[in-house]
Amino acid sequence: MKFEIKIKDNNSKARAGVIETDHGTIETPIFMPVGTVGTVKAVHFSELESDIQAQIILGNTYHLYLRPGLDVIQQAGGLHKFNSWTRPILTDSGGYQVFSLSHRRKIKEEGATFQSHIDGSKHLFSPEKVIDIQRIIGADFIMAFDECTPYPCEYEYARKSMELTHRWLKRCITHFDNTEPLYDYNQTLMPIVQGSVYPALRKISAETIASFDRPANAIGGLSVGEPVEMMYDMTAEVCEILPIDKPRYLMGVGTPANLLESIALGIDMFDCVMPTRNARNGQIFTSEGIINIRNLKWKTDFSPIDANCPAPTSQRHTKAYLRHLFHAQEILGAQIASIQNLSFYLWLVKEARKHIIEGDFTTWKKDMVERVSRKL
């Protein structure tokens, strides 16, 4: 993996860059659609490529490990061959999913023991095993195994969790560096900064992660219920410490406004289930604001869903038609809504990149944050 910053914004920490991987180029800042079990829900890959224009998608170690299982993925030749996605993939370590099973898991120095949410079977995720699993899945970017703290949590809990994450990281790096990719392309391991909402812990964690000098770094444990101002404060704190010449990935974030504000703080990569999950519930993100498509006001609105977005379905179909599909409980409604939301997210980061390059990002962002946050 290679990362090059093409231009920096003069009035913020925003930057426009390019990441080179063996599966293609990624222009940053970038949003990555979440494909947890090897698919972005309700969206075909041809739509992801041409309509949404996704440059990289996510997969999830926990879910893919349980189903379809590593044997199937390895026999296929890795996740790229299994699901036919030819562009870059990033896999989460599964840590967030494991630790969300609070009543079904136990955390020890060795790793995390948990029960499958599918059949109750018991499994152990250690740092070494998570690396092995992600070698088999074969993503371009793989995440270190970390413990995700809830919000709120006590300082002492956050400190111990962070220190455990750092010890696990050392084991991840050792095992990663002593193993080879299983397929004919390279993989990049990304450490994760933790520390909850405590500035002192975030500083320690960011300094520790930076000291390992890996090609890219991530920020985890945010967007878990803390006030948005706190999330921005922690992100800014960490971005001041992480190396400027390496990609920074803010995990699990967020709303359109969150993306824009975080880009201004120096973040390059984002992922979130919000655009697809909210789409399936009738919340539509557009270049003019947020729509609850079930509302009566859209019943006879025959304007395009979003004339500014590149997805043909968003320009071809009307708000009235999309509302009808939701009220008729047609599957097509969730599909069109998901394409719209993802298309909008990718359009938004592309516009942000354009304005960083043109030199008016800060002015544009101020107007855009207000626009994309309003409820129509």
- Of 92, 140, 146, 306, the catalytic one is 92
Q: Residue 249 forms beta bridges with which residues? A: 218, 269
Q: Is the dihedral of CA 123, 38, 143, 225 positive or negative?
A: negative
Q: Would residue 92 show up in a list of annotated catalytic residues for this protein?
A: yes
Which residues are CB-contacts of 60 (< 8 A; sequence separation ≥ 6)?
36, 37, 91, 92, 94, 97
Q: Is the dihedral of CA 78, 84, 89, 95 positive or negative?
A: negative
pLDDT of residue 49: 97
- Of 51, 140, 268, 271, the catalytic one is 271
Which residues are CB-contacts of 252 (< 8 A; sequence separation ≥ 6)?
96, 220, 222, 223, 224, 271, 272
Q: Would residue 360 show up in a list of annotated catalytic residues for this protein?
A: no
pLDDT of residue 250: 98
pLDDT per residue as tens digits for the range 230-269? 999 999 999 999 999 999 999 999 999 999 999 999 999 9
3-state secondary structure of 354: helix
Alpha-carbon gap, residue 266 to 250, rounded angstroms: 10
pLDDT per residue as tens digits for the range 198-234? 999 999 999 999 999 999 999 999 999 999 999 999 9
Instruction: Specify the pTM.
Output: 0.97
Mean pLDDT of 61-75: 97
DSSP for residue 118: T
User: What integer best gives the mean pLDDT of the chain?
Assistant: 97
Q: Domain 30-279 falls in which CATH fold? A: TIM Barrel (3.20.20)
Query: CB atoms < 10 A from the CB of 367, how many?
Result: 9
Domain boundaries, the chain: 30-279, 281-373
